[in-house]
Amino acid sequence: MNRSKLLSAALLTAAFTVLVGMAGNCSRARVESMNKMNEGVVAAMQKRYMDATKLLESAGAIDPQNEQVFWNLAIVHMEMRKYERARDDLQKAIAINPNAGGFHEKLGTVLIELEDWKAAKGAFEKAIELEPGLFKAYYKLAQVDEELDDQQSALKHYSQAVEKGPRFLEAYSALGRLYADLGYLEQSVQVLNEALKVALPGTEEEANVHHLLGTVYQQQKKYDDAVREFRAALGVVPGMRDALFSLGWTYHLQGNNDEAKRFLKKFVDVAGAEAPAHYLKAARDKLAEMAEGF
């Protein structure tokens, strides 16, 4: 499965827990642990991860029943890409508070990074059991389903992610892409058109949905519709490599070789080292073929 990593440093930073007020009946150990934990979170937000780790470990030693310490320690270890440590931290948090769905969801996310697919599946299922509204847990569970070659379960869980998180664009895109991969093209078009209603106008995410929708229309041989969507993607992100290639290729399929040459040449010009080699070769071969008049 070729998809970007789930983890984002910005999102992880937002996940830190800071407790600024504590009930009067807290034990002295809990108060000291919370104070030390908050110091650790501040250090982590300043990207002083080694200091953060020491402070949070100290907070855990002061009060081993403070599950928020282990949650925050897991986030720090995720930032440091120490996923085995993060897994252990989350398992400690869960041992203290097994009913927090968010703990199980985060554990599943870490287990994906460790490519422990079956354990990740169990973690997400537990998260959903405890908190049925965790729409990202359905989305991540669907990704695990795909890794386990259970496409029907993936369709179900992507659909549930859309239902539970109606503005969660990634779920629409993944569901539309999977429908297309499985040959359910009409369903794919329907989902991706819904995704366009959710995407923020003028953003790269909107361009990506237009491009994905264009590829589905191309599969349906609805070339005019495909051209419209690829042009819409380029209207948002003018140098979008995938859309340049797809638009050029679709024009060739239509028999419009002048426009095919123009956009395939643009793709070759902007491709760079990150472009897939087989796409670059296909574009160059097609340009050479059209130049020779075949």
Query: pLDDT confidence of 292, banded at 50, 70, 90?
Result: confident
* Percent of the chain surpassing pLDDT 90: 86
Where are the alpha helices (H) located in 114-222, listed in sequence order? Answer: 117-130, 135-147, 151-164, 169-181, 185-198, 204-219
| 98-107, 154-163, 230-239, 275-284: the lowest-pLDDT one | 275-284
Euclidean distance between CA atoms 12 and 72, whole angstroms: 10
Q: What is the pLDDT of residues 149-165, one digit of tens each?
A: 999 999 999 999 999 99
- The DSSP string of 4-72 is --S--HHHHHHH--------TT--HHHHHHHHHHHHHHHHHHTT-HHHHHHHHHHHHHH-TT-HHHHHH
Instruction: Please report the pLDDT score of residue 21 as a whole number.
Output: 46
pLDDT at 17: 65
For CA atoms 42, 45, 46, 52, the dihedral sign is positive
Report the pLDDT value the prediction gives residue 102, as an integer from 0 to 100: 97
User: Positive or negative CA dihedral for 128, 106, 9, 141?
Assistant: negative
What average pLDDT does this structure show over 213-230?
Answer: 98
Residues 257-277 pLDDT 10s = 999 999 999 999 998 878 899
Which tens digit of pLDDT belongs to each residue from 51-85? 999 999 999 999 999 999 999 999 999 999 999 99
| Average confidence (pLDDT) over 88-109 | 98
pLDDT score recorded for residue 286: 94
Task: Output the pLDDT for position 18.
Answer: 53
Report the range of poorest mean pLDDT among 41-45, 139-143, 245-249: 41-45
Q: Read off the tokens for 95.
A: 């041992």
Residue 11, pLDDT score: 36
Is pLDDT above 90 for 294? no
Alpha-carbon distance 124 to 4, whole Å?
19
